[in-house]
Amino acid sequence: MKTFSIITEADARLLDRGSTVTLSVGGHITPLALDTLRERRVTVLSPVPSVDLAQLAPAMPVRRVALGGDHTSLALKAHLLTHLRQQGLAVTDIGTHGTEAVDYPDIAAQVARLVLRHEADAGIVIDGAGIGSAMAANKLDGIRAACCLTPTLARYAREHNGANVMTLGSTLVTAEEAVDLVRIFLGTPTTETRYLRRLQKLHALEDSQ
């Protein structure tokens, strides 16, 4: 089976219809080649790069938390900040601290970067619904952000999906509910090999564009 580091349209047109080829780790397919490969029904196999599975699991135990939220989050963020510090956790509050409107992607990115730089073991981002912040944080390679609005989602986000950032909707959960969600999220490890293997495949997708 032929292996390519890059597949151009010219390469794709030379491949037999219905054949199978392999793309090397970090390899690339040009946009025009993608169309030609589909038309010729060529299958391209992309190997999963070797990664230490244990390194993909979110940090445990969580001792440092990056916390941020937009202008809708002030009351809930303040409540969580107090709670987390009472639990003995080191919390970096990146804002916002006032009622002037801010854009959730900016806050989510700041929290995510602290997690990526290992300056925080986990991140929490709050906006009105929690959805936009999850989308924004997930744009950064290495971040797995999940919107957690129920205890089951908070547990599954960590146990099954290895989330290292959780997002909350200030209009959808009460302060008491948020405390419970944060407790579950931060206290649940990712340990099972089958879940870690799936995280490896998620990691591989970051380099597959």
- Rounded mean pLDDT for each run of 10 residues along the chain, 209 residues in total: 87 92 82 90 74 79 97 97 97 94 96 96 97 97 96 97 97 97 96 86 75
pTM, rounded to two decimals: 0.76
166: nearest Cα among 204, 178, 95, 205: 178
- Place domain 55-193 in its CATH homologous superfamily: Sugar-phosphate isomerase, RpiB/LacA/LacB (3.40.1400.10)
For residue 208, what pLDDT is reported?
A: 61
4-15 burial by CB neighbour count: b if 16+ within 10 A, else e?
beebeeebbeeb
Asked about 79 being catalytic, the answer comes back as no
Write out the H or E segment, with its range, that includes residue 12.
helix 9-14
Q: According to the model, what pLDDT value does residue 209 have?
A: 56
Dist. CA 32–CA 158, nearest whole Å: 38
Q: So what's the pLDDT on residue 188?
A: 96
Q: Which of 28, 83, 160, 203 is catalytic?
A: 160
- Using CA atoms, how far apart are residues 14 and 165, in angstroms rounded to an integer? 45
Residues of the chain with CATH 3.40.1400.10: 55-193
- Residue 139: per-residue pLDDT: 95
Identify the pLDDT of residue 90. Answer: 97
